[in-house]
Structure 1
Amino acid sequence: ALLNDLEERPVESATVARALPPVGTPHAAHDPAQTDIVQILAKIKGRMVREGLRPRDYLRQFDKHNELVIARPDFYRGMASAGFVLTPLEMDTVMDVFCAPTRRRYIDYDRFCRTVGEALAQEGLERAPLLQPVPHAPPPPTNNFLNFEERSIVSKALDKLSKHHDQVSNIFEIFKEADREQCGSVPQVAVQRALSRRGVLALLSARELQLICKCFGYRRGCGDEV
């Protein structure tokens, strides 16, 4: 009676009908920038300029025999110790580019350090001393920029001061007296006091005095000096 109540099922095959789908997510395509040696070197140079890192100081310790080449694991370890954060693919790209020609398992770290060292200094200047080093770091911003109108006002104000005949004292001596620290700059109040002692402060308007202080201004500490 029990066998009669069971439902009949078709005969199943013991073999697999089709391949099972792969387990896990498919491998994503890598970023092309991670294999671009130009962008990788720019990334390394930028970190060297910002933080003052020198990879040679960390890689040279693995060169026991002064062969200018080190093993790939040592190069990887030295770059990590120096603080250069690179992905494994970026590191492989760097090692493939700078590997020793006759020793594929070794990295020519000297050529690598000379290449990235261009971010801090330019080589070969002793052979051409008249060349100017390439400024990789931008100069600090200044507030001395004057437009055409402001430059005209400053020029006329300086012309007034140059025509004033002084028989009592030299204004340079007054500035040296105000510069007690001998740093080459004095506060703006000291400039007004020096011009007043010479008797030429009345010749300048407030606008002219302001632009003169701006033109020859110098940032020292938390204040502006002239």
Structure 2
Amino acid sequence: MQTSDSIVIIPTYNERENIESIIRAVFNLEKVFHILVIEDGSPDGTAEIVKDLQKEFPERLFMMERRGKLGLGTAYITGFKWALKHDYEYVFEMDADFSHNPSDLPRLYKACYEDGADVAIGSRYVSGVNVVNWPMGRVLMSYFASKYVRTITGIPVHDTTAGFKCYRRQVLETIDLDAIRFKGYAFQIEMKFTAFKYGFHITEVPVIFINRELGTSKMDSSIFGEAVFGVIKLKLSSLFCKYPQKK
């Protein structure tokens, strides 16, 4: 049996064009990672592809199927709980569409395992603007959204909306996962903010974000509305919360 201290959580909805390639890319890395797919009832047959691959990788590839598109945040929370139950020490978030390069997973792992970070973020903006094939309007919206979040919350992070991350187990054990309120992409902001408030060490690892080539983006305008107004609520509610500091 191949063992690993690391699990990569990949939420999927209609990713049949990408899912096999992304799984094989992760499993071809020198460092051994396991994968947990959170599958939200894709009508395009994504789950069937994963099930076929599980026959080839029975000890490394896992899947949880849900009955519909329940939101990115709930997918990751479900995955975090599964990872903690199965004793993984390092838990990763990664998209299925190759916007996050699997080759960067060992760099995020090193930032936590060797360099002492509690949360390692694959950052598009820590060393300039490293985004490929996005329309300029979307690049600007994403970049200034991160600036806005940093200004409101005080998080010392350049890419506050990044979804490519590694958590140490202790971070996920400390945060009350059931109290995380955001379901969409603002979930990424809330998790970083909460980890920061608890005193965990967050570091950014520069990566190049490449817009998907296959499949359809799940982004829409409501995502940005949730982030803009949600960040204000997040900051205000934090004024009345106690965050015991990491020892």
The structure with the greater share of residues assigned to helix is: 1
Same fold (TM over 0.5): no
**TM-score, normalised to structure 1's length?**
0.20
Q: Pick the structure with more strand per residue.
A: 2
Q: Normalization by structure 2: what TM-score? A: 0.18
Larger Cα Rg: Structure 1 or Structure 2?
Answer: 1
